[in-house]
Amino acid sequence: MIYRNWIYQDILKISEIEKECFGKGAWSFQMLADSFSLDYFSGTVALDNDEVVGYGCMTFNGDDADIGNIAVTENYRRSGIGNKILEHMISDAKKHNMQKMFLEVRVTNAPAQILYLTHGFKGLYVRSRYYPDGEDAIVMVKELS
């Protein structure tokens, strides 16, 4: 497995995994491509034999990194790829001198919450009806300094 920063050619496969993982809430190819073009964007992909099987992305705002998404295609889950993607992102945020990392996660998404807790994220507060289907989000933060 190889972990590296996104290149433009990765985005089509990333948009397919988005759809598989997030359905109606998925970012489209265009939304991903627009984000990718921002100066303060950072994306990580996991590649198996040159094929994207997982990814994460974040933006840098002042001293804070805000995670947009992390996902691993279903057949590849529970083999440590989510862990490695998150490690790559934390290391990248530190290289950019970010002080904190923030994210939102669905209150029902136990696998993702466990992943984040394992990496030192802590729950801050709940955002009511944050998602389009009305589900609440937990806002989590990790101190990087």
d(CA 6, CA 33): 11
Binding of residue 77 to ligand COA (CB under 6 A)? yes
Among residues 14, 52, 81, 93, the one that binds ligand COA under rule CB under 6 A: 81
Binding of residue 58 to ligand COA (CB under 6 A)? no
The DSSP line for 57-98 is EEEEETTEEEEEEEEE-GGGTTSSHHHHHHHHHHHHHHHTT-
Number of residues lying near ligand COA (CB under 6 A):
19
Binding of residue 38 to ligand COA (CB under 6 A)? no
d(CA 83, CA 119): 8
Binding of residue 82 to ligand COA (CB under 6 A)? yes
Report yes or no: 24 and 38 within 8 Å, Cβ to Cβ. Answer: no
Q: Quote the tokens at residue 91.
A: 């290391």
Binding of residue 65 to ligand COA (CB under 6 A)? no
- Looking at the Cβ atoms of 59 and 109, the one nearer to ligand COA is 109
Rounded to a whole number of angstroms, the minimum distance from the CB of residue 18 to ligand COA is 9
Query: Position 25: which residue type?
Result: G
Rounded to a whole number of angstroms, the minimum distance from the CB of residue 78 to ligand COA is 5
Binding of residue 68 to ligand COA (CB under 6 A)? no
Q: Is 8 helix (H, G, I), strand (E, B) or coil?
A: helix
Q: Give the binding site for ligand COA (CB under 6 A).
A: 21, 69-72, 77-83, 105, 109, 111-112, 114-115, 118
